[in-house]
Amino acid sequence: MSRHFTDRISKYAVTLWAVFSFAVLLAIAVFIFVDGLPAFKEVGFFKFLFGTQWSPEHGQYGILPMVVGSVTVTIGSMILAVPLGIGCAILLAEVASPRVRQIIRPAVELLVGIPSVIYGFVGMLVVVPFVRQIGGTGFSVLAASIVLAAMVLPTIISISEDSIRAVPRRYKEGALAIGATQWQTIWNVLIPAARSGIVAGVILGMGRAIGETMAMIMVIGNSPIIPHSPLDPARTLTGNIVAGANYATGTHQSALFATGVVLLFLIIVLNSIAIYVFRKASRISNVE
């Protein structure tokens, strides 16, 4: 009787917290939408979303350059971080010796606790001068992508490693028993079996990437223009909000809230695309 009562209470408690979490998220979404609605009405939704000029002093509120900047930096960072993250996860889970794991794993966990401003500072001192040797001022999409890749690596590595370790050992033993090499076992058995966890790590890393602010402001150049190459400066949606948060009033303030609405929608779209690609790849793998 006591056990069933405890299970029922636990079920209700978990449900209550889930509803509460969803309610908080919904309240945040409603708040920023209500405060951003005046900007959509005054500027016009399509003009606000597809306008290329951001100049509050002249009443111009077009956030397309910031949308392009956020998407470009996020994609660039994931191109760099995903192969490195999955490779490091494979190293820690299947290849490295226990002694090497004891060195690498704490270093990866330490990266999670480093403040973003430190990443930005190191990026200014190391990455920006390096990119400057390639071309431009150094404050660019490329520099931001490199710094952002370093910031999302711990998330991808940790979740991917846990997912690979969670694969039943009989999968590996069965593959080795029929003559597969260690790499064939990892690539054709362990990685597909751990795919859902790896994709979850990538999605979480992507969410971290598109929402990063301080480090991006320090290395991306913070220019509200559409970048045409990785060496061009840019500005992200989060950087745009921070740039005017201290002094914005009236329509300008509402436009910043509207920027937050677009950012929230963009995160939902990117996550949905990632989930769709994952499910489609899974169906293809099952057919094969």
Residue spans of the domains in the chain: they are: 64-246+270-287
- Examine the pLDDT at 17 and tell me if it is beyond 50: yes
CA dist 70 and 240 (Å) reads: 10
Q: Which two tokens stand for residue 59?
A: 């009443």
Instruction: Give the residues across from 60 on adjacent strands.
Output: 55
- Summarised one tens digit per residue, pLDDT across range 81-124 is 999 999 999 988 888 888 888 888 888 888 888 888 899 999 99
Q: Which two tokens stand for residue 56?
A: 């509050």
pLDDT of residue 287: 45
Radius of gyration of the chain (CA): 22
Average pLDDT, the chain: 86
When the candidates are 1.10.3720.10, 1.10.1520.10, 1.10.300.10, 1.10.10.10, the CATH number that belongs to 64-246+270-287 is 1.10.3720.10
* b/e 77-109 (16+ beta carbons within 10 angstroms → b): bbebbbeebbebbbebbbebeeeeeeeebeebe
CA dist 206 and 270 (Å) reads: 8
pLDDT of residue 93: 86
Pairing of strands 54-55, 60-61: antiparallel
Amino acid (1-letter code) at residue 59: G
Amino acid (1-letter code) at residue 98: P
pLDDT of residue 280: 66
- Summarised one tens digit per residue, pLDDT across range 162-201 is 888 888 888 888 888 888 888 888 888 888 888 888 888 8
Distance of CA 284 to the CA centre of its chain: 26
